[in-house]
Every structure is written in C-alpha cells, then in structure tokens.
Structure 1
Amino acid sequence: MTATRVLVLGGKAGIVRKARALGFEVVHVQKPSAFDPAVVEHCAQLLLVDYQDVPTVTALVRALHEQRPFARVFTQTEAAQVVAGHLTEALGLPGNGVRTTRLLHDKAALRALLNERGIGPVATVTCPAHDELRDFVKTHGAAVLKPTMGSGSLGVRVINSPDETDAAWAWHRQFGLGTFLTEQLLVGDELSVETFSVDGRHTVVALTGKETGGGTVELGHVVPAPLTDRDRDAVHAMVLDLLDAVGLVDGPAHTELIITADGPRVVESHSRRGGDRINELVRLVHGVDLEEATYRLAEGTEALPEPSADGAAAIRFLVAEPGVVTSVTGVADAESAPGVVDVDVQIDEGDTVHELRWSEDRCGYVLARAEDTATAVRLAAAAAARITITTEPADGGEAAGTLGDLLEEVDEVLDPFAAATAIPASATGTR
C-alpha cells in the first residue's frame, strides 16, 4: 500500500519526524541556511530551496505534484504560512487558502476585519505620519507600534504616554520598521487560545497564560491559564467568531488576547500551533499533540472533542544581561528541581547575549509540571532561578540592529509576496 504523500515547508527535524512516524511519505522543503542533517532519514525527498522564493518553490512543487500528487501542504512555521496557503490553492488541495493565511499573517488586515465585524474593536491606524502618531497617542493615552507581519515580539514597542511619542518615532525610523501598525495599548492579563479545526468546525483545545514582566517579550507560559468562568466564556466566543470571520477550515490556530476592563481583545492570530513549546505544554496537560493532529488531516480526521485538563504545566525562559557569556552554572540543579520536565540552555561560554529585543534573544528555558496552575508557575520559576548566566560587556558594546538585520540573521522576509521576484497578486488570489 502506497503511503500518503505530504509536503512539509520549513520546521525543525522533530516536526518532520512526527509526520514520518505517522506513516506519511514526506517531501520536505527547507531553506539551505536552516538545513539539519538529522532530517534526512525522515524524508522521501528533500528540497533545499528557500520556500519564501515563491516562483521557484511553486514551479518545483507543481512538477512534483504532477509526478505524484500530494494529499496536503503543511507548515508549522510562521514564515511559511502564506506560502502554504498559496500552494494549497495552486495545487487544488484541501486546507486553508490564500485569504485565510494572509489574514492570519497580516496584523493590519486582521485588525481591519475584526473592527469591521465588531469583534472586540480596537482603535488603530496604519503607517501614521509623525503628527498623526502624536495625535493618536494623545487621544488614547498610550499605544503600541509593531510591524504588520512577523512573530516573536519582533519590532514591538510600547508608547506609555504622549511624552514618549517623539522617542518612539525616532526609534521606528532608526530600526527600519517600514510598514507598521499603531494600536491603542491594551492593558490586562495576557493569554493565548490554542484551537483545532476540521471542516470549519473549531475546538478550543487549551488556554495558555502568559508572563511578560511588563515588557513585550514573553518570559513564561502556563497551561491552563487562570481565568474566571465569565472571562473563559467570553474568550471562547471571541476566538470562534474570529476563526469563522477569517474562514479557517482546518488545522491549529494560535490566537493571542488580552483581558481588558472592556472584555477580551485580540492581539493577533496565526494559522499554526503556538511556538515557545506551547505544544508541549498542551500535550502534557490535555493529551493532545497539535502537530500530530495536523498531519492526520491528510487522511481525514474527526473534529476534536474539547479535552479535559490533567494538572498544569509551565515554561520559564532564561534571560541574562547583554554581553559575552563567561559562565553558565546551576543547570544540573535545575534539572533535579521538583516538577521539572525539561531544561534547555541554548547558550554557552563565549556566546553573545543580546538585549532582549524579541524571542530569539532568550537564552533557553525550564519546563515544569504540577497539580495546578499556580504551582506549575512557581516550580518553573524556582528551577529557572537556579541557573546563573554570567556575562561581561562586549568590546565596543552592542551595535543597534535594525529589523532587516534581525530578519537576515534568521534568513526570513516578512512578506514573500512583496519581493520583486514574487509572482503577481492576481496569480495568488490576493488583492
């Protein structure tokens, strides 16, 4: 019997391994800069080509599909979402198409849709001039600037008062923010909602609490999030309305919200499972692996029942002062701490720790499990505190990076269809 053939764009070796372990024949497309030899044994074919080079990857995938058809196009990475939507339509396959993946990648487009539908309206303006930005902040008291696309808190800056407007404007020009969105600052507890959809039927799988320490970069998560029944019902309703509005058909979605004094408000949403090891937290607590569930769509699957929770799980990210790492201690102590499931320190002596600009600047994590949310958060934080990362200032200090610099480090562009070599919008269904 011939195995079902699937196309997987991007992702780490573990993502591809799950597809192969489920019995699928995997054709994997990966950027040469992100190639990991460990992926080879899990692939029937491996294309080392930039999947954000839309014309090239479209031609290659069409040829492979004509030779032996794919059942589905999958990706678990944000950078490939709109490309996956385009390929799904181009090949005539089931799944989320261009409109849906674009809405869930383009924050300005999503906000415009939500405001139009009255789904938790939030005041916003795209690419205001300096004077317009100043007036917007005066009107709303505070604001947040962010790129219209991207993830991991990349390029997000808070303006806490009108007095900070000029400095924020200067920063946005220096940072090279380009096309950006300005929204009223939402204040309240932060969370994300992890959902899974089959044929347009949506299931709320998990609610994830978030900790940012007052900044914009997430420092911790916990499943399940601590919510009142009233807030939980309001959050469920808003997320289901959002998924219907964008036309999500199949697969996971990760929707971030803030519980404000006026009720929940959406921050952003994505047509993929959450990053930051949220999938592992969900698996530990609810017994659902959203990555595996996604692949099973290729052979048909029933809508997921809303799962119950078994205890709680939390992750705490490691951070350090900017500079060159001189020592890392306490890792073994953290690994032996109560409730700890996993410890991953991603830096070593001689590495450079950057200012905390986005998620990629964190130094690792500690993951813990417990009988309830509060205990899981406490155990993860306590174990993380056992790890000490010592740094010394780098010679000459750290040069101020731009958005382009950070994207170049990870070999990504925010909008592959905006590139000069991209195929015309008319060919992708976008306008």
Structure 2
Amino acid sequence: MIIHILGGGAGQLSAIRRCRSTGLTSFVTDMNLDAPGCLLADYCSAASTFDAEQTIAAARDFQARTGSKIDALIVTGTDQPVLTAALTAEALGIEYFLDSARAALVTNKKVMKERLASAGIPAAAYCFIAPGFDDSELEGLQFPVVVKPLDSQGQRGVYRLESAAEVRMRIDEVLGYSRCSDILVEEYYPSDEITLSGWLIGGKLHIFSVTDRVTIENPPSIGVCIAHHYPSKYNSRLPEIRRLTEDIIKTFGLTEGPVYFQYLIGTVSSACADSHDRRGGIIINETACRLGGAYEDQFIPFITGVDILDLMIKLSCGREADADSAELLSAADLHPGRVVSLQMFFCAEGLISSLSGMAEARELSGVIDGAFLLEPCTEVRSRMNSGQRAGYFIVCCGSQAEADEIVKQAYSLLRIDDENGLNMIQYYDKMLFGGNK
C-alpha cells in the first residue's frame, strides 16, 4: 500500500517512519528535496504542500513512473496541506476523510470566520481588507488589532498593530505569506491560549488533551508558541470547552478524524463578534483537522494510551479503528496523574557555531524525545514565527513539580553557542508550570 505524505519536515517524520516500520510504502512531496523526510521516504518528488496543482501533477507523475496507484494521503503537523490533500484526493479518485469544501473551512480564515459568524460561534470581531483600503473599513473594530494572512500557518505574517496607519504599512508584508488578495483584521483579545486535540467517530467527539499553549511576543509579532503544558490550568472549564467544540463540529459538518482547535480565554474585558463584553469568555481562534504540530503524536499516547498516528493511518486507508483503540477512545477523557511539558525553544540573534547536549538531555528520566532543528552556520534573525524554532524536547511524568525540575535539568545541558561561545538558547520562566500560573 502506497501512502502519499504531504511534507517532509520534522512534523511528518513520525508518519514516514511509521510507514516504514509497518511495511507501507511512503511517497513524500515537499518543495525542499533536502528535507529530512524526503531523505527517509521510499519515494519523493518536488511540490509545494500549499500548491494543489503541483501536488496533483507530482502524484500523477509518480503513478505513471512507477505503475503503482497511490492508496491514501496523510497530512500531519501542518495546516494548509489539508486542503491540498483533499483536492488531490478528489482529482485522483482517492478516499479522504474531508471533501475540499470542508477542508476549506478549516484552512481558509475567510471561509472559516464567515461560517462561524453565521452560526453565532464566539470569535473576535473582524473584517477583511485589501491593499488601498479606506480607514472607514476598519470602523467598528477597536485598536489594537491583529492582522493575519487568510491561508498561512505558524504565525507567519501575524502582527498586533495599534492604528490604521500601521495596518497600511504592514498589509503588503502580510499578503506576502498568502495566495489571497485580502487579509483578516481582528480585534486583539487579551487572553491565554489553549489547544484541544481530539478525534471524531461518527460525529462523536473524543478529547485527547487540552493544553495551555504558552506564547511569547516580539512586537509586533505575537502568538509564537514556546511550550505546551498538560493538564491545562483551565481544566475546570472543560465542560464549556467541550460544548463549544461540539458546536463548531456541528457547524462545519465534521464527522470523522482529527480535530485540533485553538481557543482564547479572555483575561480582561474585550469586545467579541457578538459585540458583548466577554470578560473571561472562551472564543475560537483557529480550527484544523489534522494531527497537531506540537508533537502530539508522541505525547498523546502517554496521556491516553491511544496511538493517534495509527488512527490517522487507518483513517486515511479507509479502515476503522480496531476494538482496542475504540475502547481507549471511549475513555480518552479520563487520564489523571499524567503530566506533559513540551518545550519548543528559540535562539537569540546571531550565527550558530555549535550545538551540544541534546543526547544527554534525551537520557534524562522523563524525556521521551527531543531534537535540534537548526544547524551550525545558521544565521538566526529576530524571532517572528514558528519557522525559526531552534529545537524541542518532550517531558512526560507524574507531577508538574517533577516536570519543571526535568525541564530545568535539560536546559542546563543544552547549548547552541555563537561564535563567542555564548549560549543562544532563550529560556523563560513561563515555560515552566510554576511560571505559567
């Protein structure tokens, strides 16, 4: 069986390795043929995961060259290729768990926001503008605002701005991350962020995890994630989070497969889409139907016992979850006494001379994985989006205090040195449970 995996980056390596270990043939498309997944895959071709026409052409060329039929498509760890996969599946007559219309709902912010608004789902007040916009088009929104491309990911082109003049100054830059002709402008909502990972079977939601998504700002850039903490400090609001998630699922007509939703939980008074003050209110920020890009395929099995990568492959191949997985799914909400601290660290500006300590950090009790994502001689620039992440490691244990101690030990070992021998790794107290109260 041949599995077409869209993307060959760090977020797809687990899927590629799983194909190899289970006897499945992997065909990877990525615009960078030097991506680690391309080197690991059985076959690879050059095609942007954002470009459906390129991906369809590459898939057809692969089938013609090999005389073999692609049996399934998989997207993990990345948002926009979900639409590319749906369009490719339709063009090639391959079964996929989303049609292109539903895939557009979870990948294009214009389609997404309009559908959410029509259903009365709480979200930040917004409008869409194009170059040459008139200031009057922003009337009704309170500054500061957040501007976003309609069809990008990883916080690329996402900025908090204080005036219409700043929006005008940034709009072309934002469009540089997009294939669309307009951008999204939202009211800034002072908040904490959480991420929900779950799975749908026959429209029924099974929640795997709700994590605190710890972010850092480098104005005007915002929302860049540096850690995920499980369990969330907002666990007491899980019933409310579940109801809102189920409302969105119903609104979008989703029935099968992964859901990966990001919510904002208000910390001060702010206006929302319904124009009511929602102090502490939960509003939807992003929706996706794929395995998360925060290494959830590695830590969710620790939390729940559910192998979500196995579920994803079976779903993509048109097979149902086996009885054991179905039983685990039914109990997925019940997993006390398990703690996860995912660390996703960045570097200060400078030229990387050497990297060390990851092998030692991975040997620490409780660390289940970790890797550097940059290489020596990389010129690190000011942090603007997740594409500049320097590395990660995952801690799984039994208490928040234990997790914090392991995280501290790991950072004491890790080094990314510049030409002067200074450690460039950026570490913040809020990356600990104890610093994110």
Shorter-chain TM range is: 0.7 to 0.9
| Distance in 2 separating the partners of 1:290 and 1:211 | 23
Which residue number in structure 2 is paired with residue 198 of structure 1?
A: 201
Q: Alpha carbons of 1:363 and 1:59: their partners in 2 closer, same or farther (altered >3 Å)?
A: closer
Q: Alpha carbons of 1:47 and 1:239: their partners in 2 closer, same or farther (altered >3 Å)?
A: same
Q: Alpha carbons of 1:58 and 1:356: their partners in 2 closer, same or farther (altered >3 Å)?
A: same
Q: Alpha carbons of 1:123 and 1:374: their partners in 2 closer, same or farther (altered >3 Å)?
A: farther
Which residue number in structure 1 is paired with residue 74 of structure 2?
A: 74
Q: Alpha carbons of 1:381 and 1:126: their partners in 2 closer, same or farther (altered >3 Å)?
A: farther
- Once the two structures are overlaid, the 10-residue window that deviates more, 140-149 or 354-363, is 140-149
Alpha-carbon displacement from aligned partner over 1:121-174 (angstroms, at most 9, x marks no partner)? 4311011625146645xx424221111111111111113xx4x54234313335
Which residue number in structure 1 is paired with residue 257 of structure 2?
A: 251
Deviation at 1:267, TM superposition (A): 0.6
Q: Does 1:131 align with 2:135?
A: yes
Q: Does 1:169 align with 2:168?
A: yes
Matches within 5 A, 1:55-74: 55=53, 57-58=55-56, 61=59, 64=63, 71-74=71-74
Q: Does 1:18 align with 2:25?
A: no
Task: Report if aligned partners of 1:314, 1:368 keep a CA contact under 8 Å in 2.
Answer: yes
- Once the two structures are overlaid, the 10-residue window that deviates more, 353-362 or 382-391, is 382-391
Alpha-carbon displacement from aligned partner over 1:59-115 (angstroms, at most 9, x marks no partner)? 6646849x7665533222434211211233341625211011111001121111111
Give the secondary structure class of the aligned counterpart of 1:219. strand
Which residue number in structure 2 is paired with residue 105 of structure 1?
A: 107
Residue 7 of structure 2 aligns with an amino acid whose one-letter code is: G
Q: TM-score, normalized by length of structure 2?
A: 0.76
Q: Does 1:279 align with 2:297?
A: yes
Residue 81 of structure 2 aligns with an amino acid whose one-letter code is: A
Which residue number in structure 2 is paired with residue 83 of structure 1?
A: 84
Residue 289 of structure 2 aligns with an amino acid whose one-letter code is: S
Q: Does 1:226 align with 2:233?
A: yes
Alpha-carbon displacement from aligned partner over 1:338-361 (angstroms, at most 9, x marks no partner)? 643333223344221121111111
Matches within 5 A, 1:416-427: none
Matches within 5 A, 1:391-430: 391=418
Q: Alpha carbons of 1:219 and 1:203: their partners in 2 closer, same or farther (altered >3 Å)?
A: same
Task: Report if aligned partners of 1:342, 1:367 keep a CA contact under 8 Å in 2.
Answer: yes
- Once the two structures are overlaid, the 10-residue window that deviates more, 144-153 or 323-332, is 323-332
Q: TM-score, normalized by length of structure 1?
A: 0.77
Which among 312, 318, 330 is matched to residue 305 of structure 1?
Answer: 330
Which residue number in structure 2 is paired with residue 295 of structure 1?
A: 313
Matches within 5 A, 1:338-357: 339-357=366-384
Residue 16 of structure 2 aligns with an amino acid whose one-letter code is: V
Figure out how many residues of one structure are paired with residues of the other and give that number. Answer: 382
Which residue number in structure 1 is paired with residue 430 of structure 2?
A: none
Which residue number in structure 1 is paired with residue 4 of structure 2?
A: 7
| Distance in 1 separating the partners of 2:260 and 2:74 | 16
Identity %: 19
Give the secondary structure class of the aligned counterpart of 1:87. helix
Give the secondary structure class of the aligned counterpart of 1:197. strand
| Distance in 1 separating the partners of 2:55 and 2:38 | 19
Which residue number in structure 2 is paired with residue 420 of structure 1?
A: none
| Distance in 1 separating the partners of 2:34 and 2:378 | 21
Q: Alpha carbons of 1:14 and 1:366: their partners in 2 closer, same or farther (altered >3 Å)?
A: closer
Task: Report if aligned partners of 2:146, 2:160 keep a CA contact under 8 Å in 1.
Answer: yes
Give the secondary structure class of the aligned counterpart of 2:223. coil
Which residue number in structure 2 is paired with residue 417 of structure 1?
A: none
| Distance in 2 separating the partners of 1:376 and 1:305 | 28
Matches within 5 A, 1:115-154: 115-127=117-129, 129=133, 131-132=135-136, 135-136=139-140, 139-154=141-156
Matches within 5 A, 1:297-336: 297=315, 298=317, 299-301=319-321, 303=326, 304-307=329-332, 308-309=334-335, 311-328=338-355, 331=358, 334-335=361-362
| Distance in 1 separating the partners of 2:405 and 2:213 | 14
Task: Report if aligned partners of 1:314, 1:376 keep a CA contact under 8 Å in 2.
Answer: yes
Q: Alpha carbons of 1:292 and 1:391: their partners in 2 closer, same or farther (altered >3 Å)?
A: same
Residue 361 of structure 1 aligns with an amino acid whose one-letter code is: Q
- Once the two structures are overlaid, the 10-residue window that deviates more, 283-292 or 357-366, is 283-292
Q: Alpha carbons of 1:328 and 1:171: their partners in 2 closer, same or farther (altered >3 Å)?
A: same
Aligned-residue Cα RMSD (Å) equals 3.2
Give the secondary structure class of the aligned counterpart of 2:228. strand
Residue 17 of structure 2 aligns with an amino acid whose one-letter code is: R
